[in-house]
Amino acid sequence: MPSSVLLEVPALADFNKAWAELTDWLSRLDRDIESQRVLVGDLDDINDMIIKQKAILQDLEQRRPQLDELITAAQNLKNKTSNQEARTIITDRIEKIQSQWDEVHGHLQSRGQQLHEMLKDSTQWLEAKQEAEQVLEQAKAKLESWKEISYTVEALKKQNTELKQFAKEIRQWQINVDVANDMALKLLRDYSADDTRKVKLMTDNINATWTAINRRVCEREAALESALRMLQQFYLDLEKFLTWLTEAETTANVLQDATHKEKDAKMARELMKQWQELQAEIDAHTDIFHSLDENGQKILRSLEGSEDAALLQRRLDNMNLRWSDLRKKSLNIRSHLEASTDQWKRLHLSLQELLAWLQLKEDELKQQAPIGGDLPTVQKQNDIHRTFKRELKTKEPVIRSALETVRILLAEQPVEGLEKLYPEPRELPPEERAHNVTKLLQRQADEVRTEWDKLNQQSADWQKKIDDALERLQALQEAMDEVDLKLRQAEVFKGSWQPVGDLLIDSLQDHLEKVKVYRAEIVPLKEKVHHVNELSHRFTPSDIQLSQYNLSCVEDLNTRWKVLQVAIDERIRQLQEAHRDFGPTSQHFLTTSVQGPWERAISPNKVPYYINHETQTTCWDHPKMTELYQSLADLNNVRFSAYRTAMKLRRLQKALCLDLLSLSAACDALDQHNLKQNDQPMDILQIINCLTTIYDRLEQEHNNLVNVPLCVDMCLNWLLNVYDTGRTGRIRVLSFKTGVVSLCKAHLEDKYRYLFKQVASSTGFCDQRRLGLLLHDSIQIPRQLGEVASFGGSNIEPSVRSCFQFANNKPEIEAALFLDWMRLEPQSMVWLPVLHRVAAAETAKHQAKCNICKECPIIGFRYRSLKHFNYDICQSCFFSGRVAKGHKMHYPMVEYCTPTTSGEDVRDFAKVLKNKFRTKRYFAKHPRMGYLPVQTVLEGDNMETPVTLINFWPVDSAPASSPQLSHDDTHSRIEHYASRLAEMENTNGSYLNDSISPNESIDDEHLLIQHYCQSLNQESPLSQPRSPAQILISLESEERGELERILADLEEENRNLQAEYDHLKQQHDRKGLSPLPSPPEMMPVSPQSPRDAELIAEAKLLRQHKGRLEARMQILEDHNKQLESQLHRLRQLLEQPQADAKVNGTTLSSPSASLQRSDSSQPMLLRVVGSQTSETMGEDELLSPPQDTSTGLEEVMEQLNNSFPSSRGHNVGSLFHMADDLGRAMETLVTVMTDDKVLE
């Protein structure tokens, strides 16, 4: 929008801001709607998304008034401005946001309708899928029940009938599968924008299974038909073969008879031709014979045990016998024919043919190598070799017959016959020629025999290799198939995973547990993958080279397994991170506790901190907590620190919504988280979980008052500010309970009982140390607000001592005594009952008028004067110290936090009447305080366990003996100074109110101290400390120097001890004794001489003394760190700029000074809680006025001069004495001036 328009219409800036915020919110909402995907087919996910959509729609409707207000504001702006450009811009933006609103609303409604339709369709698909899976299971069971095919007519008919019935059922079940597929296609088509992986995956699995079932049925049907055809044809083929066999046998018998008769060459050639025809028929029927024999064996297995089986067996045996005889006859016929026609030459040619055939088969066998690298290849090689062995078996009779013929002929034929066979060369003698032919035939026969045996051995070896390879490859294939099946199942499970970002926060833990359980379930798969790798590694290139297919399969299985492992580990990591960042134990829900430009971040120890992106700064405090602390500064004008502290705590209590928390609810939450060990530390997550439980319950009871993330974050911030200022990320359980219970809504005594129970032993008694722990944690609450000095300081020893003195110095106290002591409102705990009175007075309305500001009716506390009739003051005037003419702040008054009754009015009237006749000397003799004061920090002795040790050592590791620190330490002196300063403040305040006119302005007590120091010591102002801050700086420098001197002395003493030890060691060595061990290792031994015993004892004492000094040094260093922290805090409080705030003409001290004020005025009030005045106070309930004395002004000045002699130096101790004496002198001065005024 143009800047000129904004300048002309300033109200447009607010409109633009509201319009931009609503537009951005609608844009984010629209993006969220578009990005929200659901898993189609998952009813739980769809229902969760429907609930989420309803919540978003409800949120949109709740923001409808914001849109209406924006439209109304736009109309008002258009009516108020005459700028046409501004009116056009406003109209355009309103139309645009209305259109965007309607568009988002339409998207929500359409998405909701789509989700309902998706839920309906998914339900129908799941039902159809379930029915399809049922029929698939039935079909699988049917397939598994199938038996092997039987080769009998009855069995085949029965199996065929069953198959047809099953096929009929398959056709009926096809309807279920089609319905499931149609529903799945509808889901995939209509909801493609959402996650449809589950539907697609399950549909593919169903279809793949269904296809496999149909294929098995078809294969079964074909096998049954083939078996039935074979069975029907077998007996016909058998009869036909046997008929041919009979004819062949007849022909063979005729030829055999003819070969044995004398015959000429023509007859021999005719017989050879007939034999060749017979042999051709035999070769043609060889495959038929083997087929009949194989099929017959199948039928025999089906007919096992029946008469038909025995009959068929006899027929098959007869067929085999006759077939063998026929082949033998054929070979005999050939032998006789060859022998009768040039026998030697033919035999020689036959052996040459056999050698050539053997060489051919050897080459063929070599070509079958090497062994294949996969199961199908080896199975094919096995089939080829089976045929090869069959050929060998067929050729064996021929070879045997040829060899036998050679042997017989060589033995029977004379040498003359051989001469005729080989007449050449003529020059050789007949005997030598015969001998050469014999050698030739013998050599050929030996070669045939050798090659035959060699070929058979090679065939056997090759078969052994094939069998071994088949066994190993079969094992590898089965292992790979099993791993592949398991991996596919795992991948199906992995495919069903939803993106982690789409999961509901509450379901993260369930998903994480499921994935972890599944990871444990697939542990055996790792062993299976390892087994596959081992099997594959057994195949070496020198043995069997795995095929590329098998190698790829093994590599694929390993890759899929690694991917699965990585996916599972990554899924677990993502779920763990999501559960850590967004789960119930995370702090993610607390990010909404801050708004831009702030961002909530978490340190490594889980402590939250806050980033301001505008200023590029970080801080520990929540922005709202920072604003709350700034608002508490408004209460610094409350004069009395107990009320000031209580009002701050009340505002804090409301901001944290702890005023809604009952004690019973707090106890239930603490018990629910098992917070019973009070000494145990709690980390940030434990604190957040317990606070979340508390505020969730409060949100259920007070929905519109409690913002859970904001309250949890604010309360955590406050607890860390109180009990973990160093942001270590841990506080004790007792500290957590003390902080929460102190600010919860409960009766005061119920809180006392609960807190006492936490530190009491199992017998119900509490010792000093345990009570010190409770009071220490309690005093941290006002300490965090900077108000600890008015409640006795952070040293709780005096309070513990006061309680046990109240109990007559018993070693342990019980709950009743503790409650009696707390009813006296001890100084260290007075802020807690005042907090309850402040809470009770918030809604109180008194029918009276304030005599100062004229407020009527008085809301809150009402203060009634017991010195003047009908004189009331409201809490604002009383807390600020305002008075009316004729009334003094030290006059006795009574406080009411509830409306008064008539009886109380009469009683107060009587008291006023009595006080009219009482003198100041009476009040001086009967002083009365409204709380139980404790001894100052400089009185008495320390407890057994000093307060400085309570913070730093747990109960179970406390040192056996605690070093007693001096009362002159910096801690005690600072608190003493703060206490004195508070007393001076109240004394001077009374004096100023009584004796100085409203128009005068004087310095506070700090400047008075400086003035008297300068005037009485007769020194330059520059030589004196100019402020308490400078006093503290001087004090810190003095104490730091003192500590440094102590440390230097200790180091020097340590060096002297080491030198003395070295000297003793050298003397020991010179005497020829064994070397001394180092002091920590020295053990008592039997002395060799009195001198040795003395040296050893002295060394032991030195070592012990050195240990004590080191422990002392450590204690001093720790104490020094604590003192530096406290000094830093006091400097911050005392160095704040002084500001004069005038209220009704009365000069008030600055807020920094008000932080140090004591309760010397507040506790002297009468307190009436619940309209009941305390009866124990009697006539001594009045405020104690300053002590009456006859000392004149001259005596006062003399005391002042004596209090500040010029001989005193500049040391800080002298300054403290000056301040003390100044306080007493000021009291005397105020008394004298007050008495003089009364006498006038």
Higher-confidence position of 427 and 13:
13
pLDDT, residue 700, reads 86
Exposed, middle or buried, 7 (CB in 10 Å: 0-12/13-18/19+)? exposed
Q: What pLDDT is attached to residue 396?
A: 84
Phi, psi of 260 (to 5 degrees): -85, -10
Max distance between CA atoms of the chain, in angstroms, equals 189
- Calpha distance 793→1121 (Å, rounded): 18
Q: Can you give the pLDDT at residue 448?
A: 85
Structural tokens at position 891 = 């006059």
Q: Find the mean pLDDT for residues 1065-1081.
A: 54
- CA 1109 to mean position of chain CA atoms: 47
Rank 136-150, 358-372, 814-828, 1063-1077 by mean pLDDT and report only the highest: 814-828
> What letter would DSSP give residue 813?
B
Q: Quote the pLDDT of residue 742.
A: 93
Q: Tens digits of per-residue pLDDT, 12-64?
A: 777 778 888 888 888 888 887 877 788 888 888 888 888 888 888 888 888 88
The mean pLDDT of 75-87, rounded to a whole number, is 78
Cα distance between residue 650 and residue 777, in whole Å:
19
Kindly compute the dihedral angle of the four CA atoms of residues 1128, 1122, 621, 834, in this order, to the nearest 10 degrees: -90
Asked if residue 183 lies in contact with residue 130, where contact means CB atoms within 8 angstroms, the answer is: no
Task: Please check the confidence at residue 390 and state whether its pLDDT lies above 90.
Answer: no
pLDDT at 1090: 59
The rounded distance, in Å, linking the Cα atoms of 546 and 375 is 10
> Residue 696 pLDDT > 70, yes or no?
yes
pLDDT at 1238 over 70: no
- Does 1079 have pLDDT greater than 70? no
In the structure, what pLDDT confidence band is assigned to residue 847 with cuts at 50, 70 and 90? confident
The reported pLDDT for the residue numbered 724 is 92
What is the per-residue pLDDT for 152?
A: 73
Q: Does residue 1191 have a pLDDT over 50?
A: no
Per-residue pLDDT reduced to its tens digit, 671-686: 998 888 888 999 988 8
Average pLDDT of every residue of the chain: 75
User: Regarding beta strands 893-896 and 1166-1169, do their DSSP bridges make them parallel or antiparallel, or are they unpaired?
Assistant: parallel
Spatial distance between the Cα atoms of 23 and 33, rounded to a whole number of angstroms: 15
- State the pLDDT confidence band at 432, using cuts at 50, 70 and 90: low
Reply yes or no on whether the pLDDT at 1199 is more than 60.
no
Give residue 366's pLDDT. 86
**Range in 152-166, 177-191, 931-945 with the lowest mean pLDDT:** 931-945
What is the rounded distance in angstroms from the CA atom of residue 1170 to the CA atom of residue 525? Answer: 76
- Pinpoint the alpha helices (H) of 369-429: 375-412, 415-421
Cα–Cα nearest to 948, from 1094, 1071, 1091, 772: 772
pLDDT mean over 206-221: 87
Instruction: Give the tens place of pLDDT for each residue, 1113-1133.
Output: 777 776 677 677 767 766 666
Q: Which range, 150-159, 438-447, 731-740, 782-791, is most confident?
A: 731-740
For residue 1203, what pLDDT band results from cuts at 50, 70 and 90?
Answer: very low
Report residue 1210 as tokens.
Answer: 């500049």
pLDDT tens profile 263-273: 556 777 787 78
pLDDT bin (cut points 50, 70, 90) of residue 200 is confident
Position 430 scores a pLDDT of 47
pLDDT of residue 334 exceeding 80, the answer is no
The per-residue pLDDT for 1034 is 53
Beta bridge partners of 873: 863
- Confidence at residue 230, expressed as pLDDT on a 0 to 100 scale: 81
Strand partners, 826: 932
Going edge to edge, which strands form the sheet with 1166-1169? 872-874, 862-865, 893-896, 1166-1169, 1172-1173
pLDDT at 756: 93
Q: Indicate whether 627 pLDDT > 50.
A: yes
634-649: average pLDDT: 87
Residue 603, pLDDT > 60, answer yes
Q: How far apart are the first and last CA of the chain?
A: 76
* pLDDT of 126 strictly over 80: yes
Cis ω for the linkage preceding 857 (within 30 of 0)? yes
Q: Tell me what percent of the residues of the chain surpass a pLDDT of 70.
A: 73
**Whether residue 902 has pLDDT greater than 70:** yes
| Rounded CA separation 951/971 (Å) | 15
Range in 685-694, 1064-1073, 1182-1191 the model is least confident about: 1182-1191
pLDDT bin (cut points 50, 70, 90) of residue 340 is low
Among the ranges given (765-779, 914-928, 1137-1151), the one the predictor scored with the smallest mean pLDDT:
1137-1151
pLDDT for 155 beyond 70: yes
Query: Is pLDDT at 1237 greater than 50 in this prediction?
Result: no
Residue 1175 clears pLDDT 60, i.e. is over it: no
User: How far, in Å, CA of 845 to CA of 853, rounded?
Assistant: 16
CA distance 1043 to 829: 33
523-532, 679-688, 891-900: least confident range: 891-900
pLDDT of residue 584: 63
Using a 10 angstrom Cβ sphere, with 0-12 exposed, 13-18 middle and 19 or more buried, the burial of residue 531 is middle
User: What pLDDT sits at residue 1112?
Assistant: 67
Report how far apart, in Å, the C-alpha atoms of 1069 and of each of 793, 833, 874, 1056, 1077 are.
58, 73, 88, 20, 12
pLDDT tens readout for residues 931-984: 666 654 433 333 332 222 222 222 333 333 222 333 334 444 444 444 554 454
Give the sheet arrangement for strand 617-619, strand by strand: 598-602, 608-612, 617-619
Q: Which pLDDT value is given to residue 52? A: 85
